[in-house]
Amino acid sequence: MKNILIFGALIACMNARSQHVIARPEPHRLVNDLAGILNNSKRTEALEYKLKKINDSLGIEIFIVTIKSLLGQDVQLYSEQLAYTWQNHNQRSNGLFILYDYQDRKYAIIPGTDFQKKFPPEIIDKIEDLYMKPHFRKGNFYEGFNSAVDAITKHITGELSDAQLKKDDPSHIYIITLVVLLLMVIAIPVWQYFALQKHHYGTKNIGFVSAIMLMSNLKYAKSNYENFKKGTGTFAYPNSGATVFGGGASGSWGGW
């Protein structure tokens, strides 16, 4: 009896979820801005025209759907169900479905059965990260959709390969930046140390740690010609009228 109740609850949940799937608006369009985030009829029509042109030339239907909120529903599952409900048999095999949940800031790209090998999850993630997210963060939704459509089309035609998508991964830039910073942090103190050793005239070589501490505490001497004449300033003996060598240290120890 317990198993029957659990099974019944699961069926009820599935039915409740299916009831939330919205009907496809009439007339049928490829761009369905139900959240109203494109905010420009000309841009919406331009995007619609591009998708129709892709369909006419390549036989591929790309759907774009925006929804205000999925109310906590899983965006991937909802997008799959919506794509299955809206598309006919041919569209399910050679189409792609892009859905964006505006309030929850979630999105999904669902490839048809013919494109599932062409667009595995890792490639879809790359397209989202490289072509959608940067624009969406700035609120430029038209640019994000338009850029993603271009990337999808180029990937289908072979103009944009898997290797190129991975090569353009922004994480590579972060890694290079981190390496450069580490080199700077390590190389500059070492270079300064050897520069100090070269100009050090003591009888004993100064240690690396001592050299770093010395360089960090070095300051320009504050003396001028008047100090020189009066026997005051940084290099003057206290309470003495005798003058000594004054002036400041010339140059720096190679810092920034």
Q: And the tokens for 250? A: 């010339």
| Domain residue ranges in the chain | 20-167, 171-217, 219-248
Alpha helices in 100-240 (DSSP H): 121-127, 133-137, 141-157, 162-167, 170-198, 208-217, 225-230
Poorest-pLDDT segment among 41-45, 125-129, 208-212: 208-212
Q: CATH assignment of 20-167?
A: 3.10.310.50
Label residue 186 by pLDDT band (50, 70, 90). Answer: confident
For residue 111, the 8-state DSSP code is: E
Q: Which of 158-167, 187-196, 198-207, 209-218 has the highest mean pLDDT?
A: 158-167
Residues 94-129 pLDDT 10s: 899 999 999 999 999 999 999 999 999 999 999 999
| pLDDT recorded at residue 254 | 31
Rounded Cα gap, residues 169 and 181, in angstroms: 20
E strand spans, the chain: 31-33, 61-67, 95-101, 106-111
Q: H or E element: which one contains 90?
A: helix 89-94
- Residue 43: both structure tokens together: 């841009």
